[in-house]
Amino acid sequence: MQSLASRWDTPELRATIYQFTVYFPGGVASVFLGIWLFENGIQAEQIGFINALPTLLLLILNVVVGRIADKADDWRTALIGLSIVSALVALPLFYVSEFWGILFVWALCASSNGLVPPVIDAATVRMTRRNGTDFGVIRAWATVGYVASAIIMGSALSTWGAEAFVYLYVAVVVARALLAFLLPRFRAPEPQLTVAAVTADQNAPSRLKDSLKLWFVLPLVAFALVNGGNAIMGGFASLLWHENGIGSYHIGPLLAVSAAAEATLMFGWRKFGGRFTARNMIMVSAIAGLVRFAIMAFSPPVWLLYVAQCLHALSFGLGYFGMVHFIANWTREENAAEAQGFSNMLTQAAAMVGLIVFGALMEPLGSFAFFYSVVACALAVICVLISLKLKPPKSL
């Protein structure tokens, strides 16, 4: 008879523990970074540069690091390496306090953190498909971890102030690096065939560049376009709500309800996810995003804002699952992380363009600037329809 410890010690549990910590550094930064920078005398335009440089680095590094991760003996090796690098590059934060030093060190911190999610997600979805387990539940714990860390860090900010930022940030990246050693092996043993309810095409190209046909790229562009709108929500929604007279006591709950809706969808994913093809998931997410951002554009009453925020479960959560499963359906293990990195590169680019354009439109148009996101979502629907026309889905 198996002991309780052996029954609980599964690859999925180990992956879940790590996923829970993946966005801890982001939770710390979302609460502390802006205030810490301001208290170090960094001006608003300089803060913009500090936030933008990691995005530019990720545009360059995502595919390269994904390719390296795919060539490693297992994705576990790459994740341990990335986690250790993220911890080491954070240490110089103790010694910088002026713009150029912070710009350089934070670029290394944020970009090294941004390289982790595509690799762990590509590895986890392959493992769960092989084992017949639920990727959605594992991935949901990453969202729960982010929300939990943001809430805890909000309390820490009120208790210790912004000067605690570096200590807390270093603590969470070091903890994540230590937990990385608990990760399981993600690849199937070499002689073993990968068998799953939905398997990747064995004739799929073994090199990413051979996969980059129009029908393959368009759904990834579609997800990137929709997610650009989600990035705009993160960057500007609270400011617009405040300017439109929404009480400050509503802003926190409005942000929290979107994350709660996303986590709920992910936890319940296995019950209904197999009923839809990957590209249909992306198309539904684009339609949901179109509705959500159209509502936002008209400065609705607060009760309708809560309804619109719940659509985040579809505009991001469903679209994200569609993107991950689309990549898994049409690529092989030899280039899974590289393909995920390519999608992440498109997403980062769309987010950067969206934030710049929305920032330029917000002053003259106010909430009507959300029509940029409405147009982007409409284009996303067209991208998916063209892809389906060029290459029909294999199966559900």
What's the confidence (pLDDT) of residue 375?
A: 96
Distances (CA, A) of 268 to 119, 137, 147, 149, 326: 23, 7, 18, 23, 19
145 close to 30: Cβ distance less than 8 angstroms:
no
Sign of CA dihedral 61, 64, 66, 69: negative
pTM: 0.75
Domains, the chain, ranges and CATH?
11-180 (1.20.1250.20), 208-390 (1.20.1250.20)
Alpha-carbon distance 59 to 16, whole Å? Answer: 27
What's the confidence (pLDDT) of residue 241?
A: 79
Q: How far, in whole angstroms, is CA 112 from its chain's centroid?
A: 14
Identify which of 344, 346, 348 has the alpha carbon closest to the alpha carbon of residue 118.
Answer: 344
What's the confidence (pLDDT) of residue 204?
A: 52
Write the DSSP assignment of 49-91 as a string of letters. HHHHHHHHHHHHHHHHHHHHHHHSS-HHHHHHHHHHHHHHHHG
Q: How many CB atoms lie within 10 A of CB 251?
A: 16
Strand, coil or helix: 35: helix
What's the confidence (pLDDT) of residue 264?
A: 87
Which pLDDT tens digits describe the chain residue by residue (396 residues)?
455 455 557 889 999 999 999 989 988 887 777 778 888 888 766 776 787 788 788 878 877 777 777 777 788 999 999 999 999 999 999 999 899 999 999 999 999 998 898 889 888 988 888 888 888 889 889 888 887 887 787 778 778 877 888 999 999 999 999 999 999 988 766 554 444 444 444 555 555 666 678 999 999 999 999 998 888 887 677 667 777 887 767 766 787 788 888 888 888 877 766 678 889 999 999 999 999 999 999 988 989 999 999 999 999 989 988 998 898 888 876 676 777 778 888 988 888 888 788 878 887 888 898 999 999 999 999 999 999 999 888 654
Exposure class string for 13-36: b at 16+ Cβ within 10 A, else e: ebbbbbbbbbbbbbbbbbbbbbeb
Q: How many CA atoms, within 13 angstroms, populate the side-chain half-sphere of residue 78?
A: 27
What's the confidence (pLDDT) of residue 1?
A: 43
Tokens of 106: 């934070």
What's the confidence (pLDDT) of residue 201?
A: 47
What's the confidence (pLDDT) of residue 93?
A: 94
Identify which of 396, 393, 386 has the alpha carbon closest to the alpha carbon of residue 215.
Answer: 386
